[in-house]
Chains A and B, each alone.
Chain A
């Protein structure tokens, strides 16, 4: 009960953002499925968004003059839009690769290997 009565501060939001980011980075690094890599990219962008929104919250920042305010929300919106655009292009590339090589394993994409 003691845990539930403590108010939540900015650090806790940053921890959530950090966990999402690191999970996304590890996903990008270890997945053999090309779509798994894309899911990792989405996790990374969401970790960054959590950070932006947390810093721009007027309920979590005590230094009022330099609180990020609306800038954080706007940057988060732009990140969401750009993530959607990048997911569309990455998916088009992935499906093209799948149609040409009959596999979606990134380990098999080695024709340009020197």
Chain B
């Protein structure tokens, strides 16, 4: 009896919940139930993000997407779910067309997903760029473990980064810490790529300050636009 790979177990759990509730959103006709199923599906997607090592993106998914965007959509559902609008059925012919197109697209995507051999299993060896970060002397790019507080950071990082060659267990690495790197990247400093030796790749190492500013202005414009669209209009008195 082989030991259970718990990463696989949780991946299957979250992915089945996400896919099942996404299909439930598609199949259901009750708008209130559709909104709730979508909430569950996106919550499970956040679990998938955590399993893939994206701790900050997973937390933001729960905070912004589930806790903000979906609550906004549920407000919209509550404002418009009156009587005949709660359950609206689609004609049968449209379902046939949607099944054909959706099925073809799904088949194409599945075939593409399994077409590259490199993508079938986990990373074959310990990823060297991750190991290179651990062997660096920069305290910003090292995973933090409380046990090394007494020793100096440099010596601990060198001994930790020296993994035996050929040990195929990427799951034994420390927890990912992407929040600081993301924050510095948004300000324009790519602290995750400090040991980039290739000059060609070094030229492409740009920060994300401009997209950050563009998105900020975009949010302001959207806020003003949505407030204008949702203003209380004066009713004509006759």
Chain A contacts to B: CB under 8 angstroms: 1-16, 18-27, 29-33, 35-36, 38-40, 42-43, 46, 49-50, 53-54, 56-65, 67, 69-70, 72-74, 76-78, 80-89, 91-96, 98, 103-105
Contact = CB atoms under 8 A, between A and B. Distances in A.
A49 to B, nearest CB: 7
14 contacts: A6-B5, A7-B7, A9-B121, A26-B26, A27-B25, A46-B45, A49-B61, A58-B130, A73-B182, A74-B185, A78-B211, A92-B229, A103-B85, A104-B85
Interface in B185-220: 185-186, 190, 192-193, 198, 201, 208, 211, 215, 218-219
Contact of B98 (A10, A26, A94): A26
Instruction: State the 6 A-B residue pairs at the shortest beta-carbon distance, nearest first.
Output: A18-B109, A14-B113, A92-B229, A10-B119, A5-B2, A23-B22
Interface string B134-178: 000000000000000000000000000000000000110100101
Given A39-B34, A59-B123, A96-B230, A11 B114 contact: yes
Interface in B1-57: 1-5, 7-9, 11-12, 15, 18-19, 22-23, 25-26, 31, 34-35, 38, 41-42, 45, 48-49, 52-54, 56-57
A84 B64 contact: yes
B69 A42 contact: yes
A22 to B, nearest CB: 4
Contacts of B53: 57-59
A90 B113 CA distance: 32
Contacts of A43: 22, 25, 38, 41
Contacts of A63: 118
A67 B124 CA distance: 13
Interface of B: 1-5, 7-9, 11-12, 15, 18-19, 22-23, 25-26, 31, 34-35, 38, 41-42, 45, 48-49, 52-54, 56-57, 60-61, 64-65, 68-70, 72-73, 75-77, 79-80, 85, 88-90, 94-95, 97-99, 101-102, 105-106, 109-110, 112-114, 116, 118-125, 127-130, 170-171, 173, 176, 178, 181-182, 185-186, 190, 192-193, 198, 201, 208, 211, 215, 218-219, 222-223, 225-226, 229-230
A35 B73 contact: yes
Contacts of A11: 113-114, 116, 119-120
Nearest to B121: A9
Contact of A82 (B1, B49, B173, B218): B218
B52 A54 contact: yes
A85 B219 contact: yes
B119 A39 contact: no
Contacts of A53: 48-49, 52, 54, 57
A54 B64 CA distance: 20
Contacts of A32: 88-90
A96 B229 CA distance: 7
